[in-house]
């Protein structure tokens, strides 16, 4: 029982120490001199969709199964450029996609 009381006291001391440090903490104020460095305040342009540069056969299959035929088509066309040795297979997949698009 004495050990538990000592642990609780130690925990309370730790919490009090943390509370004291937080109350003394400060956030730096932005001054006019910071305005001299606009690059610090500018946000980098984010791509419309960060995964657009990521192409894979798996992603194309997922798009196809979801009915996102145009996205799948675009990926297979890109894959032909990246992996010309598999272009025959990708062409067959493109044909399947175009069939689906024509049946819509």
Average per-residue pLDDT in the chain? Answer: 79
Tell me the average pLDDT across 1-25: 71
pLDDT value, residue 1: 54
- Residue bearing the bigger pLDDT, 95 or 54: 95
Give residues with Cβ within 8 angstroms of 59, minimum separation 6. Answer: 75
CA dist 37 and 78 (Å) reads 40
Q: What are 54-92's pLDDT values in tens digits?
A: 889 999 999 999 999 999 999 999 999 999 999 999 999
- In terms of average pLDDT, the best of 42-46, 52-56, 98-102 is 98-102
Q: Tell me how far CA of residue 5 lies from CA of 12, 39, 54, in angstroms.
A: 10, 54, 57
CA-to-CA distance for 104 and 32, rounded, in angstroms?
59
Using an 8 Å Cβ cutoff, are 20 and 36 in contact?
Answer: no
The helices-and-strands tally (H runs, E runs) of the chain is 6, 0
Q: What is the average per-residue pLDDT within 86-102? A: 95
Q: How far apart are CA 6 and CA 43, in angstroms?
A: 50
pLDDT exceeds cutoff 70 at 43 = no
Average pLDDT of the segment spanning 24-43: 64
Domain ranges of the chain: 2-42+49-103
């Amino acid at each position: 029982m004495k050990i538990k009381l000592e642990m609780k006291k130690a925990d309370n001391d730790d919490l009090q120490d943390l509370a004291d440090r937080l109350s003394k903490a400060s956030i730096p104020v932005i001054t006019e001199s910071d305005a001299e460095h606009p690059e610090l305040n500018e946000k980098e342009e984010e791509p419309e969709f960060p995964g657009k540069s990521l192409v894979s056969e798996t992603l194309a299959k997922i798009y196809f199964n979801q009915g996102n035929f145009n996205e799948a088509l675009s990926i297979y066309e890109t894959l032909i450029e990246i992996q010309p040795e598999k272009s025959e297979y990708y062409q067959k997949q493109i044909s399947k996609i175009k069939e689906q698009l024509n049946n819509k």
